[in-house]
Amino acid sequence: MISTAAKKEIDQWIKKYPEDWKSSAVMQALKIVQKENNNFLTEELINDVASYLDMPPIAVAEVATFYENFNHKPVGKHVIRFCHTISCMLNGADDLIKYTEKKIGAKVGEVSKDGLVSIKKVECLGACRHAPMFQIDDKYYEDLTKEKIDLILEDLK
């Protein structure tokens, strides 16, 4: 069920588009309801967003499953989205992913025991020039090394 506060926020996005184009707010609506639900979407929430935006549930599900920033199972408070596409891969991403897994004590797709962080492998995030890179929540971290990763992980609270 979408909360009143979330509906209010979604309405602000709907207003940005021409009348009868409420569906244009689907990405933001999913982002808002995901944030309220401990950072992951359920089938019920996807259906609720569809109903709120007058969209077929399958159309909302297609958006929710296409983009890597939507989660479909519980995740950590922070989500590391580690790029493993060509530029990052050629610059050592696979090794750094293994290093990060060891540091947080959780494999790709898992949540650390303290619930603080989880890690996902994602496709190119458009920062290839600064490969290898990952995104944590909304922030990019580029030109990663093991030393940089140590400092970044130490700062996570």
- For residue 37, the minimal CB distance to ligand FES (Å) is 28
In whole angstroms, the minimum distance from the beta carbon of 134 to ligand FES comes to 9
Stretch in the footprint of ligand FES (CB under 6 A) among 62-70, 74-82, 120-128, 145-153: 120-128
Is residue 128 part of the contact set for ligand FES (CB under 6 A)? yes
Using the rule CB under 6 A, which residue among 86, 95, 146, 150 binds ligand FES?
A: 86
Q: Taking CB under 6 A as the rule, does residue 94 contact ligand FES?
A: no
Question: Torsion over CA of 144, 147, 150 and 153, rounded to 10 degrees?
Answer: -30
Between 37 and 69, name the residue whose CB sits nearer to ligand FES. Answer: 69
Pairing between β-strand 117-122 and β-strand 139-141 as defined by DSSP bridges: unpaired
Strand 117-122: give its sheet, edge to edge: 117-122, 78-83, 134-136, 139-141
- The closest of 133, 103, 131 to 117, measured between CA atoms, is 103
Residue 136 is a binding residue for ligand FES (CB under 6 A):
no
Question: What's at 82, amino acid-wise?
Answer: F
Q: Does 133 bind ligand FES (CB under 6 A)?
A: yes
The yes or no reply on residue 127 touching ligand FES (CB under 6 A) is yes
Say how many residues touch ligand FES, by CB under 6 A: 12
Q: Write b or e for each residue in 139-148: b if 16 or more Cβ atoms lie within 10 A of its Cβ, otherwise e.
A: eebbebeeee
**Could you say which of 23, 24, 39, 87 contacts ligand FES (CB under 6 A)?**
87
Number of H-type helices and E-type strands within the chain: 7, 4
Quick one: tokens of 68?
Answer: 């890597």
Kindly state whether residue 80 participates in binding ligand FES, applying the rule CB under 6 A: no
Q: What does the binding site for ligand FES look like in residue numbers (CB under 6 A)?
A: 83, 85-88, 124-128, 131, 133
